[in-house]
């Protein structure tokens, strides 16, 4: 009977008997794994984990129907999805014990936090623990697939076009970032399924406490997002609904939400046990999908076959559990592997100041760089608030780009910084190079969750599978009485996020060279662009106007520039010092240095992560006196940390304390121009600092 492929009657359509049998084997595997974890809780609970008990039917129905060209983002309760796309129990259980050969992260992250890049399976970008955060990066995958199809660079799947699946728990859908993902998918009609598994719990709070409505009703507010609501414990209904939805998306390329109602039969996690707080366990047990599917298989194949499958599954899981438990741990030597992906830009190349070209303002140097990138690379695109054709950026930094390259490649987004930043994860994964803009540094805060949780950690936690190759452009700094919400300096926060590179150029030539370098770098790059330097309208900032470098000009990250050199005789006489600065600080320092001819060397860092430690330490040892200049305030900042680094590494060479000149420490930058001027760093303050340092 096992080889006789019959058809089982379904409420909607027939399902091959073999698929029902395979689903039962998978469900039995997931259930047995959960049981073995519980039986061996003393060893399995060393690292926190959650299982799919109660959710298996909907997960298996989804996983069985995905193809290698598809993408799926399972969340931390989705081990049944992993099994149903072809992962062995051993593969999955390696992550329970954080083992070296864990195929997802090499022991770096929790159970059922997958990332996968295998030819014969659906692809999985890095998955984090932060609930709902996968919605934006995964929607970015769908956005990237749509873009490639529209501009003619997508692979031809003969009509079997890729589908993207984002799995979510219902409780996570109260997160604002989930709404940002829904909004973009509905607005742009991306080929994505949001699979929402609703067990009516978050941890200890139930549905009555945490939501005004379930996701079926909530999703009605997103016009263009079609919803299916199903019993997530009924495998036949799940399979048929998913089959219908996938078939539509492969052809019509539009988004769906599938709302599956399921019981939570396991613990929230191994560390938060259900018996501590739940009073619905008996009711939940009545909704277990396992007996339902077991009955279908028994009716089709007989009880003997059911018993054989269960025994076989138990044997396999027990054996592979032992193998996983005894597998090799990762070596401490691998701790810093996959910090950054290798970049091809390791030295300054190209012509910085071509003969015959006229100097141009900094904003135009960036515009020329973008024009060259978009002309040469169809995988490059630019999006953000107001960068589209009508305005071309509030600082005109994207002027004419939409007209030249089309609305598919240069376009506006809604006001949602989290989506702008987080979508780059998915766009990069499908082979694109997203260049995005956060309109003002003051508004990067809503995007920091994505920048920290998803963008910066993807390469490291995926064990080198998914670097995020993206450029995030951020106009920054005080300019023209911008006031408390358009003037902030935020580099100290951003440089504290490991796994991203940070540039802060002070000239048009450096901005163009660093933009080009960032484009060819496979890692995420934040480029701060000072608004006061864009046009050099502020007296003293004319040095930001430079001859536009040629098309091949690139600057490696971590390479500083010497702006002014001290006279050798002043150095020899111990009458010199070095100023280390960046951004607008270069111009305050240059103006102040005029009062001390030949005695001041100025180093422009150009990039803040990584920094050019060699140039910094060599200059300090050469002059024995150092000062740091920043537009930020001093307390708890990047510059204060740099001063500590200099003192630690150059202490025996210093003839004076490391001086820092920065802005007055206040919660915000006032709007009034008199107050703003009193707060900000300026040349007079720098001049006083130089005198104090030289005379120490």
541-562 per-position pLDDT tens digit: 999 999 999 999 999 999 999 9
Q: How far apart are CA 646 and CA 149, in angstroms?
A: 51
Do β-strands 561-564 and 600-604 pair in parallel, antiparallel, or remain unpaired? antiparallel
DSSP-derived 3-state class of residue 474: strand
Name 46's Cβ contacts closer than 8 Å, sequence gap at least 6: 97
Sign of the dihedral through C-alpha 446, 447, 450, 456? negative
Name 633's Cβ contacts closer than 8 Å, sequence gap at least 6: 662, 663, 664, 665, 666
List, for the chain, all residue ranges whose pLDDT scores fall below the cut of 70.
1-13
Do β-strands 433-437 and 380-384 pair in parallel, antiparallel, or remain unpaired? parallel
133-147 per-position pLDDT tens digit: 999 999 999 999 999
At residue 191, φ and ψ (nearest 5 deg) are -85, 75
Query: Alpha helix locations (H) across 131-234?
Result: 135-151, 176-188, 207-210, 215-218
Structural domains for the chain: 18-326 (3.40.50.970), 359-547 (3.40.50.970), 561-694 (3.40.50.920)
Active-site option among 267, 486, 530, 623: 486
- Widest CA span of the chain, in angstroms? 97
- DSSP 8-state assignment for residue 71: E
Q: How far is CA 389 from CA 10, 392, 528, in A?
A: 52, 5, 23
Q: How far apart are CA 427 and CA 528, in angstroms?
A: 22
Q: How far apart are CA 559 and CA 616, in angstroms?
A: 10
> What pLDDT is recorded for position 3?
39
Closest CA to 588 of 557, 621, 627: 627
Is 268 assigned a catalytic role? no
- 536 in Cβ contact with 545 (< 8 Å): yes
| pTM of the full structure | 0.95
Do β-strands 501-503 and 525-530 pair in parallel, antiparallel, or remain unpaired? parallel
Q: How far apart are CA 529 and CA 547, in angstroms?
A: 18
Q: How far apart are CA 243 and CA 62, in angstroms?
A: 8
Q: For the residues of 296-358, what is the DSSP string, one character each?
A: HHHHHH-HHHHHHHHHHHHHHHHHHHHHHHTSPPPPGGGTTTTSSPPPS--S-BS-SS-TTPP
Distance of CA 643 to the CA centre of its chain: 30
Give helix 683-694 / helix 585-593 axis angle, nearest 10°.
60
Does an H or E element contain 571, and which? helix 568-572
Q: How far apart are CA 265 and CA 559, in angstroms?
A: 56
- 396 in Cβ contact with 363 (< 8 Å): yes
Both tokens assigned to 157: 């799947």
DSSP-derived 3-state class of residue 26: helix
Q: CB atoms < 10 A from the CB of 555, how many?
A: 28
Does an H or E element contain 29, and which? helix 17-39
- 369 in Cβ contact with 515 (< 8 Å): yes
Distance of CA 19 to the CA centre of its chain: 37
- DSSP 8-state assignment for residue 170: G
> What pLDDT is recorded for position 13?
61
Both tokens assigned to 638: 């990047």
Both tokens assigned to 39: 């039986």
DSSP-derived 3-state class of residue 449: helix
- 647 in Cβ contact with 658 (< 8 Å): yes
- 167 in Cβ contact with 55 (< 8 Å): no
- 567 in Cβ contact with 616 (< 8 Å): no
Q: How far apart are CA 504 and CA 684, in angstroms?
A: 23
Do β-strands 607-609 and 501-503 pair in parallel, antiparallel, or remain unpaired? antiparallel
- 399 in Cβ contact with 535 (< 8 Å): no
Planar angle of CA 336, 342, 345, nearest 5 degrees = 140
Question: For residues 78, 84, 88 and 91, what is the CA-based torsion angle, rounded to 10 degrees?
Answer: -30
Is the bond leading into 610 cis (omega within 30 degrees of zero)?
Answer: yes
Q: How far apart are the first and last CA of the chain?
A: 94
Alpha carbons within 13 angstroms on the beta-carbon side of residue 421 total 30
What are the residues facing 554 on neighbouring strands? Answer: 349
Does an H or E element contain 607, and which? strand 607-609
Q: How many helices (H) and strands (E) does the chain have?
A: 26, 21
- DSSP 8-state assignment for residue 396: S
Q: How far apart are CA 325 and CA 605, in angstroms?
A: 48
Do β-strands 525-530 and 471-476 pair in parallel, antiparallel, or remain unpaired? parallel
Q: For the residues of 54-83, what is the DSSP string, one character each?
A: TTHHHHHHHHTT--TT-EEE--TT-HHHHH
């Amino acid at each position: 009977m096992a080889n006789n492929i019959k058809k089982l009657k379904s409420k909607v359509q027939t399902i091959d008997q073999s698929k029902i049998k395979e689903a039962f084997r998978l469900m039995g595997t997931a259930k047995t794994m959960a049981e073995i974890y519980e039986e061996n809780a003393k060893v399995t609970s060393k690292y926190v984990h959650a299982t799919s008990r109660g959710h298996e039917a909907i997960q298996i129905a989804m996983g069985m129907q995905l193809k290698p060209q598809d993408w799926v983002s399972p969340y931390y309760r989705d081990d049944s999805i992993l099994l149903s796309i072809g992962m062995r129990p051993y593969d999955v259980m390696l992550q329970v014990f954080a083992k070296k050969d864990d195929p997802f992260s090499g022991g770096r992250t929790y159970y059922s936090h997958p990332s996968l890049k295998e030819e014969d399976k659906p692809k999985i970008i890095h998955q984090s623990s932060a609930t709902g955060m996968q919605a934006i990066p995964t929607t970015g995958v769908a956005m990237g697939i749509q873009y490639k199809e529209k501009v003619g660079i997508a692979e031809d799947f003969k009509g079997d076009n890729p589908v993207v699946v984002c799995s979510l728990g219902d409780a996570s859908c109260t997160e604002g970032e989930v709404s940002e993902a829904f909004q973009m998918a509905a607005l742009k009609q991306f080929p994505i399924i949001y699979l929402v598994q609703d067990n009516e719990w978050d941890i200890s709070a139930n549905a009555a406490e945490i939501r005004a409505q379930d996701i079926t009703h909530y999703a009605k507010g997103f016009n263009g997002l079609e919803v299916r609501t199903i019993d997530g414990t009924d495998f036949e209904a799940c399979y048929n609904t998913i089959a219908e939805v996938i078939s539509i998306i492969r052809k019509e390329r539009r988004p769906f939400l599938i709302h599956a109602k399921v019981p939570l039969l396991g613990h929230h996690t191994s560390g938060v046990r259900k018996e501590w707080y739940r009073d619905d366990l008996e009711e939940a047990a009545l909704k277990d999908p396992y007996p339902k599917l077991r009955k279908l298989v028994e009716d089709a194949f007989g009880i003997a076959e059911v018993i054989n499958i269960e025994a076989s599954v138990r044997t396999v899981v027990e054996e592979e559990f032992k193998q996983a438990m005894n597998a090799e741990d990762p070596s401490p030597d691998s701790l810093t592997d996959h910090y950054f992906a290798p970049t091809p830009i390791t030295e300054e190349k190209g012509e910085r100041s071509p003969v015959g070209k006229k100097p141009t303002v900094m904003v135009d140097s960036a515009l020329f760089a973008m024009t060259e990138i978009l002309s040469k690379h169809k995988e490059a695109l630019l999006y953000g608030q107001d960068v589209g054709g009508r305005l071309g950026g509030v600082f005109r930094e994207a002027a004419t780009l939409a007209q030249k390259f089309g609305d598919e490649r240069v376009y506006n987004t809604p006001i949602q910084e989290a989506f702008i930043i987080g979508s780059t994860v998915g766009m990069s994964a499908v082979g694109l190079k997203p260049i995005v803009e956060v309109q003002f540094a003051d508004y990067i805060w809503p995007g920091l969750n994505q920048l920290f949780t998803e963008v910066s950690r993807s390469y490291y936690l995926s064990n080198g599978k998914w670097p995020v190759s993206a450029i995030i452009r951020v106009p920054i700094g005080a300019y023209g009485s911008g006031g408390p919400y358009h003037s902030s300096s935020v580099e100290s926060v951003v440089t504290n996020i490991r796994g991203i590179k940070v540039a802060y150029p002070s000239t048009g030539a450096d901005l163009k060279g660093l933009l080009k370098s960032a484009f060819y770098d496979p890692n995420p790059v934040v480029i701060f662009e000072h608004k006061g330097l864009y046009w050099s309208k502020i007296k003293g900032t004319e040095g930001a106007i430079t001859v536009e470098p040629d098309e091949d000009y690139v600057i490696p990250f971590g390479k500083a520039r010497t702006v002014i050199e001290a006279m050798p005789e002043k150095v020899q006489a111990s009458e010199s010092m070095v100023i280390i600065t960046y951004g607008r600080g270069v111009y305050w320092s240059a103006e102040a240095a005029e009062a001390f001819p030949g005695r001041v060397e100025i180093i422009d860092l150009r990039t803040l992560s990584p920094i050019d430690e060699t140039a910094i330490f060599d200059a300090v040892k050469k002059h024995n006196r150092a000062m740091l200049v920043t537009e930020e305030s001093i307390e708890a900042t990047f510059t204060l940390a740099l001063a500590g680094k200099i003192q630690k590494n150059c202490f025996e060479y210093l003839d004076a304390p490391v001086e820092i000149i920065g802005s007055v420490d206040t919660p915000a930058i006032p709007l009034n121009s008199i107050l703003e001027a009193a707060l900000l760093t300026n040349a007079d303050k720098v001049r006083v600092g130089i005198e104090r340092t030289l005379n120490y």
